[in-house]
Amino acid sequence: MILFGGLLFALYALDLSLSGPEGFAEAKALLAAPLGKFIAWALLTGLGYHFAAGLKHLFLDWDIGDTLAGAQLGARLVIVTAVVLSALAGAWLW
Residue 44 pLDDT class (50, 70, 90 cuts): very high
- Rounded to two decimals, what is the model's pTM? 0.86
Q: Tell me, what's the pLDDT at 1?
A: 82
* pLDDT reading at 2 higher than 90: no
Classified by CATH at the fold level, domain 2-93 comes out as: 3 helical TM bundles of succinate and fumarate reductases (1.20.1300)
For the stretch 31-38, contacts whose Cβ atoms lie closer than 8 Å and that sit 24 or more positions apart, written own/partner, are: 36/9, 37/93, 37/94
Average confidence score pLDDT of the chain:
95
**For 59-87, what is each residue's pLDDT tens digit?**
999 999 999 999 999 999 999 999 999 99
CA distance 11 to 16: 8
